Structure 1
């Protein structure tokens, strides 16, 4: 049974690599034929050499580590708060009336529009960056948790009443398991927004350090742009995409463990 499930996914994985491989081959061919502008689009070999040099001197590995730490720290804080607030709103009509209008208004504000206000409050260091990331992660998680808890079928709630479960036991045994697909979807979207927010914070505000590891991939890209290092620009973009996809796949893998009955 497991083989019949895993083989199609393996086939889809390899098929998904066909387009990136074709694009890289086309890129290499265009460079070899002299069709590309070397000032704007360097060869794949130069990007590989830049990656090797970046890992050798620690600039690329340090920037990657700093970005991952910021993204995960902000996501954990923001998604955790969103899960609590969203669950409360989803199970309480009073909380829904109190918080929903404010949350719905605040989430309409573009994430990077918060930067001037947060900079004034916290400066341009790590506190400001992680607060911005957490803010971006909060709203998708809160909305996912609220939708999941609020849309639990009434018949399932009646089961809790028949079994004379307490509110806590009803929440733990009925509402949260039923809401898990929406919660996991909110977590996935929350992580995506947190990752984008991390890059934006680092690119626009390239100050501050985590354990001396540098300003992150956003600042790495900003510096590469300033010095017209297109090999580093392309390398930074590729790393951001690869790490983002990896994080997304990790969340999907977790969701398959957490809610095996749900189709993804």
Structure 2
């Protein structure tokens, strides 16, 4: 009986979340369709949802679409993985070691004030406009938020926990795994969430700004702009946004699984 009640509650919660997520887009598309039908907007500048849907069907059937999607996701995952791991390790290092903090934290805080897009000319000078340049740009976009939130999470652990570890003479690695890391995990995931958002923005941004090499979802919008194909531009924008939401949803699901013990407590 309790399992049935729990299942029903979860189902209702999922339904409510889904309805809240789709309500505004559905209303927007309905208003857009009415405005197009009544000729309230210039169809040459803003085509109807039906025309965008027809363009989407045509693009989705092209083999180059899968290639572009795969290429964008591959660069995103590689850059995100490198940046996230490096950011977590660096954040832990400067939060756990006074010497490391003294040596590296000032430079880190100065460098993170530099706009990410200001790095692109330097990156392209040394690495060109290929995959390596794009992945490095994505890595940088992930590294800073992950490192900062990891540092804040580890630094915010109460000294009481550290004193307990010292009193019981826990090995440093054991104390870190059992006390420090669990306490900082929520803040670390905040950094990982922000890093994922920045990674996807950097993935598409690098395809716009380093567009002379390779394929990707950003090329859909570029091709639409060059051909003044507004349907293609709008479809590309919606597709990029949808993929970003899906990536964020996957990480949110992972976070809930990993931090389930905190929610239960």
State if a TM-score over 0.5 links the two structures: yes
Counterpart in the other structure of 1:223:
223
Contact 1:54 1:61 in 2 (8 A): no
CA distance in 2: counterparts of 1:177 and 1:6, whole angstroms: 29
TM-score (ref. length: structure 1) = 0.93
Structure 2: stretches of 5+ with no match in the other structure: 1-5
CA distance in 1: counterparts of 2:251 and 2:135, whole angstroms: 20
Residue 61 (1) aligns with residue 66 (2): yes
Residue 126 (1) aligns with residue 154 (2): no
CA distance in 1: counterparts of 2:48 and 2:226, whole angstroms: 20
From the superposition, tell whether residues 69 and 201 of structure 1 become closer, same or farther in structure 2 (CA, over 3 Å). same
Q: Structure 1 residue 61: deviation in Å? A: 2.7
Paired residues in the alignment total: 258
Q: 2:19 aligns with which of 2, 11, 14?
A: 14
Counterpart in the other structure of 1:250:
250
CA distance in 2: counterparts of 1:64 and 1:32, whole angstroms: 32
- Of 159-168 and 15-24, the range deviating more from structure 2: 159-168
Q: 2:184 aligns with which of 162, 179, 184?
A: 179
CA distance in 1: counterparts of 2:231 and 2:53, whole angstroms: 9
- Of 230-239 and 29-38, the range deviating more from structure 2: 29-38
Counterpart in the other structure of 1:29:
34
Q: Structure 1 residue 179: deviation in Å? A: 0.6
Structure 1: stretches of 5+ with no match in the other structure: 210-214
Q: Structure 1 residue 5: deviation in Å? A: 4.9
From the superposition, tell whether residues 207 and 140 of structure 1 become closer, same or farther in structure 2 (CA, over 3 Å). same
TM-score (ref. length: structure 2) = 0.93
CA distance in 2: counterparts of 1:2 and 1:138, whole angstroms: 39
Cα deviation code 1:179-213 (max 9, x no counterpart): 1001100000001011111111001111333xxxx
Give SS of 2:18's match: helix
Q: Let me know the Cα RMSD of the aligned residues.
A: 1.4
The aligned runs of 1:65-214 (5 Å cut-off) are: 65-209=70-214
CA distance in 2: counterparts of 1:20 and 1:64, whole angstroms: 23
Counterpart in the other structure of 1:212:
none
